[in-house]
Amino acid sequence: MIRSSMHNHTDLCDGNNTPDEMVVAAIDAGFTDFGFSGHSMNEKYFNEWGLHDEDAYIKEINRIKEKYKKQINIYVGIENDYFGRTKNSDKLDFLITSVHGFVNSDDTKYYSVDNGAEELIAGIDSVYSGNAMSMIKAYYENLCKAALLDKPDIIGHLDLPIKHNEGNFIFNENSDEYLKIAKDAIRYLSAFSVFEVNTGGMYRGYREFPYPKEELLYYILKESGKVTISADAHSINGIDYKLDEMEDLVKDIGFKEFYIYENGEFKRHRL
């Protein structure tokens, strides 16, 4: 049983529960290790989902860490977005690097890739003249750039732009063109970070498969990339959503091992 998950949000960013409530739920679910990964902030664009006071967040998670230390290992982290960078890397236990959107050329408007098909399509039309593959290219380039800066513990939801693309509604995610761009990023990122198998999109009913999609998981394996498993929980309900199923899934893909964060570091688990 997987009883560690490092990608979790609270009501200090866009989650529904307090840090205390999340930890109590994690203890009830039998977790031994639990990471908080509040969203980094861009005050121009991320007000609805970023951490409004990162210092207060770090202080609060450290308080929770101390309060529950006999029952569970708690870690304070940030999900660091390319467009809103944390200034507190030195105060954190771990870092997740993610990209959630893109901005227009004069940096006056931000478009999410994961906040609905309508916003994504509007962004592709306005910033990339309707060319979805240009958006995809920029997305993966920005993810690689951010990861190079962060040297993160975890790469968050690698292929997030597919969230609202079920049935290839916006672009053909099975095309050679798309897969080449994603695979180039995988080759680059495999060298220095761990990919998460993220069940957040499944829990919220958008996808039937985790991020990254199956074909990309096969490619991570081919490139000897490392994987970990997390729920990207935004409430106490999704806290351990399908974590054990994901262990079976990566085993079926052919992985011989995966990584679980325990006692302050990633440990290798044989499959």
Among 54, 232, 240, 247, binds Zn ion (CB under 5 A): 232
Question: Are 15 and 22 in contact, with CB atoms under 8 Å apart?
Answer: yes
Interface pattern 155-174 for Zn ion (x via CB under 5 A): -x------------------
Q: Transcribe 29-94 into DSSP letters.
A: TT-SEEEEEEEP--TTT-TTTS-S-HHHHHHHHHHHHHHTTTT-EEEEEEEEETTB--S-GGG-SE
Q: Which is nearer to Zn ion, 128 or 211 (CB)?
A: 211
CA distance 72 to 65: 8
In whole angstroms, the minimum distance from the beta carbon of 233 to Zn ion comes to: 9
Instruction: Record the tokens describing residue 53, joined without a space.
Output: 């006071």
Distance of CA 213 to the CA centre of its chain: 14
In whole angstroms, the minimum distance from the beta carbon of 50 to Zn ion comes to: 11
Instruction: Record the tokens describing residue 190, joined without a space.
Output: 């495999």
Q: Which is nearer to Zn ion, 145 or 180 (CB)?
A: 145
Helix (H, G, I), strand (E, B) or coil at 132: helix
In whole angstroms, the minimum distance from the beta carbon of 15 to Zn ion comes to: 9
Residues numbered 34 to 53 that lie near Zn ion (CB under 5 A) are none
In whole angstroms, the minimum distance from the beta carbon of 250 to Zn ion comes to: 20
CA distance 202 to 210: 6
Q: Which is nearer to Zn ion, 153 or 232 (CB)?
A: 232
Q: Which is nearer to Zn ion, 6 or 64 (CB)?
A: 6
According to DSSP, the β-strands at 110-112 and 226-230 are unpaired
Q: Which is nearer to Zn ion, 9 or 183 (CB)?
A: 9
In whole angstroms, the minimum distance from the beta carbon of 7 to Zn ion comes to: 5
Residue 81's DSSP bridge partners are: 84, 98
Query: Is 196 one of the binding residues for Zn ion (CB under 5 A)?
Result: no
Query: Is 98 one of the binding residues for Zn ion (CB under 5 A)?
Result: yes
**Contacting range for Zn ion; rule: CB under 5 A; set: 10-18, 55-63, 150-158, 168-176:** 150-158
Q: Which residues are near Zn ion by CB under 5 A?
A: 79, 98, 156, 232
